[in-house]
Amino acid sequence: MLVARLDDAGDVLLAGPAVRAVRAGAREVVFLAGPNGRAAAELLPGVDRVIVWRAPWIDHTPPPVTAEGVRELVAQAGGIDEAVLLTSFHQSALPLALLLRLAGVKRITAISNDYPGSLLDVRHVVDESVDVPEAERMLAVARAAGFELPEGDDGKLAVQRPLPDIAKFTGQWVGVGGVADKGAYVVVHPGTSAPARTWPAERHRQAVRELVEDGHQVVVTGTERDLTAYVASDVAVDLGGVTTFAELAAVIERAGVLVAGNTGPAHLAAAVGTPVVSLFAPVVPAVRWAPYGVPVVLLGDQEAPCRGSRARTCPVAGHPCLSQVTSEQVVKAVRELTQ
């Protein structure tokens, strides 16, 4: 069996329940991911092998369509019997279905409101005007293909265990042995993959200071080292650029709360059971993409003019949906989730 989700890490983590449903009825599950989703796919329970391909119709900086690229995917997908293709409401499964047909895949299931001809064997049609959580939407595709979650599976997000030892990061500030109790600190993750989803860096920095003043140990994470250093300042632990994705999961798992925008680590928090203060820009619906299955405090004007625009760069002067969120609101939300 092949399960495909070709975009970012958060989207891949949200595919977790669907993957587990497929795995319950399959001998082997191969996950087809894009480059930005590989590390998340490798963490999903039920995934036996990950293959990576950069889709020209999905990637944020799409490569050209080439015969060589098509041959690469067809070769990697050789030997696959059946595929379940997972997409967002604004994506088409049909280009991938066509390429998998060329690879010899016999049975393909996906959502398609467009006529699929012979590209799909199971065409799952949904009302795209109705917002449902993305994890549930993808699980419905697996069910349409005939796969159900195994008995006892709660349908929440999850990661493979055990997670890496993080004592090398935490040993110097959590005491003997470097083992942090759950809730020993708050994680603040200031980066996102799109500027339209980003709370200003100076607000993050101020929130970190106020969280420390409120009695919290704070850890700042992310890949942008200049940003994490600025946000951490001289009052928080800066782990910018030093953790793998699996190590980041372990750091977030020990946190009492994660403070983050609509970005992969927010879904990683959901997968390890950590509550989230979600700084959520309404460029996509929170009903679909807010952290799933954990306590969440949602901050940001969900009725702002950018609502539903799917913009990656804010289309409204002043970025009002998030710039009006204050550091005091973040501290209050962390308090609410930790008490």
pLDDT of residue 257: 98
Type of residue found at 224 = E
pLDDT of residue 196: 83
Does the pLDDT at position 317 exceed 60?
yes
pLDDT of residue 305: 86
Say what the alpha-carbon torsion angle 313, 317, 322, 325 is, to the nearest 10 degrees.
160
pLDDT of residue 195: 85
Kindly report the length of the chain: 339
pLDDT band with cut points at 50, 70 and 90 for residue 126: very high
What is the rounded distance in angstroms from the CA atom of residue 43 to the CA atom of residue 245? Answer: 9
Q: Please give the distance of CA 273 from its chain centroid, rounded to a whole number.
A: 14
Whether residue 185 contacts residue 153, with contact meaning beta carbons closer than 8 Å, is answered with no
Does the pLDDT at position 27 exceed 60?
yes
Q: The whole model's pTM is what?
A: 0.94
Mean pLDDT, the chain, whole residue set: 94
pLDDT of residue 236: 96
**Which tens digits make up the pLDDT trace of 319-337?**
888 989 999 999 999 999 9
Which residues, 6 or more positions from 322, have their beta carbon under 8 angstroms from its beta carbon? 197, 198, 199, 200, 261, 279, 281, 300, 301
Does the pLDDT at position 198 exceed 50?
yes
| pLDDT, greater one: 281 or 294 | 294
**Which tens digits make up the pLDDT trace of 230-266?**
999 999 999 999 999 999 999 999 999 999 999 999 9
